[in-house]
C-alpha cells in the first residue's frame, strides 16, 4: 500500500470547509479488516426518511457489496452506510455474500434500523475473504461516537492509495429554501469511466423522493465521474451514492417527487458542481500523476463520438507518457483519434495544446512554435483541444499523465 506516498503535486491547495448536513452523522474506527491499528471503517448514520440513489460499476464481476446495494436500492430508503478500506470483498463467492449480510446485520443492530436500509462499500484487495465478525462490537462502539463533523474524518477513512482526502460542497435553493450538498470520494488507480475503483458518497438535506434522486444522479455522473479516466481499468467495486435526508423540509423546502421539477434547477447545478469537483480531485490523485490532462473534442458528429475520441486520447499510454515527458507529441493524438474508430478525417483535424495550434487540416501548423509549446507543457494542468471538423458536437474528459511512479505503485501493490 502506498499510504506513505507523497501527496500528489496536483492536490488542491486547501481542503474545503464542509458544514454539517442535518440528519447525517458519522464516526470512524479501526476494525483490523486488513491492517492493525489503522482507521479502516466508516460508519455513517442517516435520519429516518432518508432517500437514496446509486450508480455502480458496470463490471460483469461486481463485488459482494455492490450486489448488496443493488438489491436494496429499490427500497429507496437508507439509514446507514458502512465503508471499509483494505479489502474489496470482491470475488469472494458465497463467503462474500455472507460477509455483506453479517455486516448489514451488525450495523442495523448498532443503528436500530432494518438490514435492508444499510448500504455497504468495500475497497482494497480483491479475492481475499472479508472477516465481518471483526465488526462485532466495533460498529456498536462506533455508533456511540457519531457526530456531524468533521467531514475530513470519513474522507480519510475511505482512502486506499489516495494521497489526499477528497471533499466537496455546494449550496442550492429549492423553493427559496437553502439546502446543502456535501460529498467525499476516493480514487487513485483502476479509474475509468463507468465508475472505476472509485467510491463516492454525497449527502444533502434536500427533500427529494428516491426516483427523482436517482434520475438526478444518473444524469449528473455523465459529465463528471464518467468523464474521468486514469488507466482505463474498471474496478469491481465502483460505487457512487447520493443520500437525501430531507431535513430541509422542516425549514420549508418543498418535497420534490419528479426529477423534471423546475424547482430543482439550482440543486441540479450544485450537484453537478460537487460531482465534477470530486471527479477532478480523483483525476488529480491518479496514481503517480504529475499532470492533470483536460481533453476537449469539438466538431465531432455526435456527443457520443466526441466522448469516444476523447477517451481514446485519454486512455492512450503513448499520449499519457508523452505528457509525462512534457512532449507536445501531437502525432500520438492523431494516432489516438485514428484508433477510436469514430468518424474523423485527417485533412480536417486540428490539434492545440493550451490554445496553441500545432496541427491543422491534415498537417503540422506552419506557424507552430515548438519552443512556445514546450514551455506550455511544463504546466501542471495540460489542456488538449482536438477539433474533428466534421460536425457540431463536443465533449470533455479528464485524465492524468502516465509516469514511472504509476508502474512502481502498481507493480508492488499487494506485497
Residues at the binding site for substrate are 160, 186, 197, 287, 410, 415
Q: Give which of 277, 285, 312 is closest to 395, Cα–Cα.
A: 312
- 177, 205 contact by CB (below 8 A): no
Quote the least distance from Cβ 135 to a copy of itself, whole Å. 20
- Binding region: 160, 186, 197, 287, 410, 415
* Cell (9 digits) for 363: 498537417
Strands 199-204 and 239-244: parallel
**C-alpha span between 360 and 346 (Å, rounded):** 9
Q: In angstroms, what CA-CA distances link 322 with 275, 318, 332, 377? A: 29, 6, 8, 10
Q: How far is the CB of 413 from a copy of itself (least distance, A)?
A: 7
Cβ at position 303, least distance to a copy of itself in Å: 18
Q: How far is the CB of 95 from a copy of itself (least distance, A)?
A: 6
- Of 57, 100, 180, 197, catalytic: 197
Nearer to a copy of itself, 87 or 169 (CB): 87
What does the CA dihedral 57, 59, 61, 65 come to, rounded to 10 degrees? 0
Cα–Cα distance for residue pair 356/363, rounded to 1 Å:
15
CA–CA separation, 359 and 338 (whole Å): 15
Q: Which is nearer to a copy of itself, 155 or 337 (CB)?
A: 337
Q: Tell the smallest beta-carbon distance from residue 363 to a copy of itself (Å).
A: 3
Contact residues for 115 (Cβ-Cβ < 8 A; gap 6+): 101, 104, 105, 107, 108
Q: Where are the alpha helices (DSSP H) in 62-112?
A: 64-72, 93-111
Is residue 100 flagged as an active site residue? Answer: no
Backbone phi, then psi, for 313, in 5-degree steps? Answer: -70, -45
Whose Cβ is closer to a copy of itself: residue 145's or residue 364's?
A: 364
Residue positions annotated with a catalytic role: 197
Amino acid at each position: 500500500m502506498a499510504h506513505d506516498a507523497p501527496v500528489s503535486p496536483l492536490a488542491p491547495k486547501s481542503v474545503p470547509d464542509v458544514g454539517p448536513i442535518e440528519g447525517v452523522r458519522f464516526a470512524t474506527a479501526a476494525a483490523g479488516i486488513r491492517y492493525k491499528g489503522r482507521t479502516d471503517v466508516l460508519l455513517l448514520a442517516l435520519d429516518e426518511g432518508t432517500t437514496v440513489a446509486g450508480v455502480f460499476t458496470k463490471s460483469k464481476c461486481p463485488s459482494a457489496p455492490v450486489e448488496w446495494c443493488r438489491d436494496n436500492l429499490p427500497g429507496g430508503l437508507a439509514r446507514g452506510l458502512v465503508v471499509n478500506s483494505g479489502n474489496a470483498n470482491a470475488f469472494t463467492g458465497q463467503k462474500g455474500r455472507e460477509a455483506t449480510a453479517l455486516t448489514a446485520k451488525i450495523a442495523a443492530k448498532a443503528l436500530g434500523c432494518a438490514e435492508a436500509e444499510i448500504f455497504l462499500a468495500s475497497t482494497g484487495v480483491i479475492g481475499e475473504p472479508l472477516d465481518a465478525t471483526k465488526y462485532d462490537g466495533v460498529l456498536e462502539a462506533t455508533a456511540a461516537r457519531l457526530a456531524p463533523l468533521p467531514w475530513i474524518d470519513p474522507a480519510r477513512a475511505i482512502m486506499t492509495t489516495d494521497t489526499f482526502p477528497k471533499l466537496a460542497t455546494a449550496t442550492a435553493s429549492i423553493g427559496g429554501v437553502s439546502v446543502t450538498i456535501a460529498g467525499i470520494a476516493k480514487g487513485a488507480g483502476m479509474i475509468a469511466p463507468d465508475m472505476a475503483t472509485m467510491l463516492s458518497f454525497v449527502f444533502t438535506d434536500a427533500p427529494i423522493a428516491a426516483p427523482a434522486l436517482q434520475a438526478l444522479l444518473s444524469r449528473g455522473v455523465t459529465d463528471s465521474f464518467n468523464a474521468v479516466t486514469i488507466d482505463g481499468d474498471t474496478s469491481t467495486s465502483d460505487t457512487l451514492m447520493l443520500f437525501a435526508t430531507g431535513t430541509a423540509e422542516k425549514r420549508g423546502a418543498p418535497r420534490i417527487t419528479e426529477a423534471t421539477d423546475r424547482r430543482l434547477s439550482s440543486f441540479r447545478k450544485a450537484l453537478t458542481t460537487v460531482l465534477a469537483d470530486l471527479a477532478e480531485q480523483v483525476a488529480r490523485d491518479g496514481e503517480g500523476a504529475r499532470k492533470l490532462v483536460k481533453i476537449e473534442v469539438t466538431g465531432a458528429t455526435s456527443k457520443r463520438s466526441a466522448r469516444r475520441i476523447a477517451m481514446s486520447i485519454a486512455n492512450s499510454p503513448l499520449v499519457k507518457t508523452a505528457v509525462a515527458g512534457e512532449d507536445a507529441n501531437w502525432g500520438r493524438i492523431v494516432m489516438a483519434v485514428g484508433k477510436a474508430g469514430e468518424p474523423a478525417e485527417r485533412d480536417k483535424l486540428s490539434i492545440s495544446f493550451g490554445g496553441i495550434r500545432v496541427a491543422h487540416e491534415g498537417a503540422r501548423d506552419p506557424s507552430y512554435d515548438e519552443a512556445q509549446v514546450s514551455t506550455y507543457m511544463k504546466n501542471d494542468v495540460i489542456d488538449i483541444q482536438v477539433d474533428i471538423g466534421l460536425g457540431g458536437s463536443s465533449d470533455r474528459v479528464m485524465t492524468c499523465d502516465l509516469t514511472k511512479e504509476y508502474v512502481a505503485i502498481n507493480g508492488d501493490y499487494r506485497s
